[in-house]
């Protein structure tokens, strides 16, 4: 086990970057067979249609973020409730 320390600003920035990446990929986000995931995709798309964000928006985070994972190299992956992640 390693003790990797990530500062809050890096985590916040990772979410903003990941969200903005999927704003550009909104047309590639497809529904699947899971009804809950489809609902979450629909909700995510509504927020993505507003466009890119510059700063952390706690309302958006509460509605779309599942978790942010840190691997053994300190790389971050932002996981969305819609069932996918973006590595930063």
Residues 6+ apart with CB under 8 A from 45: 26, 29
Q: Please report, in tens digits, the pLDDT of each residue of the chain (88 residues total).
A: 567 788 889 999 999 999 999 999 988 888 878 899 999 999 999 999 999 999 999 999 999 999 999 988 889 999 999 999 999 9
Residue 84 DSSP code? -
Per-residue pLDDT, 1: 55
Instruction: Note the pLDDT tens digit of each residue in 51-72.
Output: 999 999 999 999 999 999 998 8
The two three-digit tokens of residue 12, written as one number:
């916040």
User: What is the pLDDT at residue 2?
Assistant: 63
Q: What is the DSSP string of 50-79?
A: T---SS--HHHHHHHEEEEEE-TTS-EEEE
């Amino acid at each position: 086990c390693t003790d990797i320390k990530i500062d809050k600003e890096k985590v916040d920035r990772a979410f903003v970057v990941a969200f903005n990446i999927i704003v550009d990929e909104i047309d590639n986000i497809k529904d699947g067979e899971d009804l809950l995931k489809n609902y979450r995709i629909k909700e995510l798309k509504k927020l993505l249609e507003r466009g890119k964000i510059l700063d952390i928006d706690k309302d958006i985070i509460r509605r779309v973020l599942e978790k942010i994972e840190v691997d053994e190299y300190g790389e971050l992956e932002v996981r969305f409730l819609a069932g996918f992640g973006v590595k930063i």
